[in-house]
Structure 1
Amino acid sequence: MDIYQTLFEVIDTRSFSNMWYWIALAVVWSTASHFVLGVPFDLALRAKRQGGERMTDLEDLVRINIGRLLNIAEVSGLMLTALAGAVITILGMTGFVYGVELAQALFLIGFPMLLVGALNIRTARKIATEAPKGEFLVSELRRHRFYVQFIGLISIFVTAMWGMYQNIVTGPLGG
């Protein structure tokens, strides 16, 4: 058997039948739901349980992260929105109009992450204007995390269904 044939059988170059794509998808959504506005969610839970200095640390960390996020949105928001819109449109058109599986796979990761990014900015603005403290801040972070996880759940479901469909249609050898 040819070494290249063996290599390409072991490392499938199609996206939806590639184990590394699914690992990357899991890592993306795990990271997105763990870091709420850049703050590890376990830190919020620990601050709620223990209070005191831990809660002060959480409030400071949230304040710093939403300041960074809102500054980026204010300074570069228009350019980042245009760039992200162009990239996601190119991926969507290339993937679903021209049938490029890699573009489909990247679109199915990228588009929901754009929604999460918009949700991050919305929540950061809400926290900046209302300035919740203590338990109210933790509940706001918990609500935000729930929405991120809900988007992730829908995204993973749609990606899995589309990936299974692609694997059925293309067959085991990409034919």
Structure 2
Amino acid sequence: MLTRRLRTRIAPLALTTALVGGLAVTTTATAPDARAASGSYYLYFKKNTSDPINSKLYLMKSVANAKDKVVAKYRAGSGNGSQNECAVSKGWLPGTTTKNGKYTIEFHRTDFDGVINGYVIKLSDKKCSKGTKRTELFVHSEMKPNGKQGTIEPERWDGTRDYYSNGCVKLKPADIKDLFAKAKRYGWPKTLYVVK
């Protein structure tokens, strides 16, 4: 009984590592900053400081008194290669869990028609560490408004170079469609967290 009580008190503070496809993902036993109630889902963006366009986006499930569960993981790029989070339309997504790395997911659509098209997840605006406000932040890909591949560059995925973005989080088309399918099946996340 005493062991169970100690585990319950200590577990939320302990960092755990989940091995996913050979990749170590550090998460906390329960969602830090009260991320989500047990059983709910959130997005977790892990910045890669050595290669920003080879970062990772995770769909996570919050689990009471245990490590959060990785439901899906995707390669994701953010920015044009710059790690300057204050560089508007160039730098990667601002924030880490220790420096204001929490975003509200404002909406998700499969038929967005704007500067970016198709499958999009709109993130809340965010001030970077120097106070510059970053706006028009999305998780998106390159596709036509109907979600299909086009013939012109902003609507056609050509490969690794397409992970570059204007500061958003970018997935390849098959991955963002898979993320939408899993989120629809399990429950749409309301929050995205950024760590590095």
Structure number with the higher strand fraction is 2
TM-score range, shorter chain: under 0.3
Task: State TM-score, norm by structure 1.
Answer: 0.25
Structure of higher RCO (CA pairs closer than 8 Å, 6+ residues apart): 1
Report which of the two structures shows the higher radius of gyration computed on alpha carbons. 1
Task: State TM-score, norm by structure 2.
Answer: 0.23
